[in-house]
């Protein structure tokens, strides 16, 4: 059972006391998960670069979810990404069920299908530089359980051990529209005793975001009032923390859909 940590806001990694190990003992499997609805123009830039820069990490998979994307994402994957799919580096998923883009549900689907010990969200407009996967694994060496790997302003990039993510019920699917789904999970994980392994000091070395317009951020959402939904979702997050309600989606199915995996296998989750 998930327990509430009264001192959760002070539970963070002190890199001065615990420097990153130069050579980790274990290469944990890491899944870098990207969901995409109408953002093929970003993915065509970021995905090949992200695979190339992290190709040397020996236990890595990229999970890409086509979330009812209205563009020609399947065609691009067939034309350019099939060698990575065949090699097991890339897992390509496609669901046609959602009518609108839902941040929490889409990420829950991708994370559930990931097979890594560590699951990480990488937005379609995120570039992750050389050695990113290795850096995550070195952080995990310091904290092999009860850990949250993130920059402190979240910015679309958050990683956890998959079993601990499942214990928390994944991303909260009661949140609507744009914003706060990562903050919500971030706070629940810390309040459940996960130490924040913040890599802010390494951010410029390993991560950057391509310019994305506000219009692109909400284009396929049912509720396009970005700042309103962020505020409402923030209030929901605060209220649940005050109630010590850390497990999301209790009593309801979550992360459910029917998928085509790698163009050939039907999967229901």
For residue 143, being part of any structural domain is answered with yes
For residue 93, being part of any structural domain is answered with yes
pLDDT of residue 221: 85
| 161 phi and psi angles, rounded to 5 deg | -65, 135
Q: Are 184 and 194 in contact (CB under 8 A)?
A: no
CATH assignment at residue 111: 3.90.550.10
State pTM to two decimals: 0.96
pLDDT of residue 217: 83
Q: What is the pLDDT along the chain (269 residues), one digit of tens a residue?
A: 799 999 898 899 999 999 999 889 999 999 999 999 999 999 999 999 999 999 999 999 999 999 999 999 999 999 999 999 999 999 999 999 999 999 999 999 999 999 999 999 999 999 999 999 999 999 999 999 999 999 988 656 799 999 999 999 999 999 999 889 999 999 999 999 999 999 999 999 999 998 888 888 888 888 888 889 989 999 999 999 999 999 999 999 999 999 999 999 999 99
Number of domains the chain contains: 1
For residue 3, being part of any structural domain is answered with no
CA–CA separation, 222 and 218 (whole Å): 8
For residue 79, being part of any structural domain is answered with yes
CA–CA separation, 171 and 212 (whole Å): 23
pLDDT of residue 248: 97
Provide the 8-state DSSP code for 145: S
Residue ranges making up the domain that contains 243: 8-268
For residue 2, being part of any structural domain is answered with no
């Amino acid at each position: 059972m998930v327990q509430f940590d009264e001192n959760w806001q002070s539970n963070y990694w002190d890199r001065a006391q615990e420097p990153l190990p130069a050579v980790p003992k274990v290469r944990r499997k890491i899944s870098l998960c990207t969901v995409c609805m109408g953002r093929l123009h970003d993915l065509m830039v970021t995905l090949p670069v992200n695979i190339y820069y992290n190709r040397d990490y020996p236990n890595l998979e990229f999970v890409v979810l086509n979330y009812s994307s209205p563009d020609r994402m399947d065609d691009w994957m067939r034309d350019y990404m099939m060698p990575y799919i065949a090699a097991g580096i890339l897992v390509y998923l496609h669901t046609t069920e959602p009518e609108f883009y839902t941040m929490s549900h889409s990420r829950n689907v991708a994370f559930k299908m990931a097979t890594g010990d560590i699951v990480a969200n990488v937005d379609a407009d995120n570039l992750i530089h050389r050695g990113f996967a290795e850096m995550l694994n070195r952080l995990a060496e310091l904290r092999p359980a009860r850990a949250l790997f993130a920059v402190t302003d979240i910015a679309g990039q958050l990683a956890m051990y998959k079993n601990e993510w499942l214990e928390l019920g994944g991303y909260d699917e009661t949140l609507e529209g744009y914003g706060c789904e990562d903050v919500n999970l971030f706070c629940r994980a810390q309040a459940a005793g996960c130490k924040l392994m913040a890599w802010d000091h390494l951010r410029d070395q390993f991560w950057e975001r391509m310019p994305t317009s506000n219009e692109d951020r909400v284009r396929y959402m049912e509720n396009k009032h970005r700042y309103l939904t962020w505020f409402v979702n923030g209030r929901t997050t605060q209220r649940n923390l005050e109630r010590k309600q850390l497990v999301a989606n209790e009593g309801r199915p979550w992360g459910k859909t029917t998928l085509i995996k790698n163009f050939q296998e039907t999967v229901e989750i």
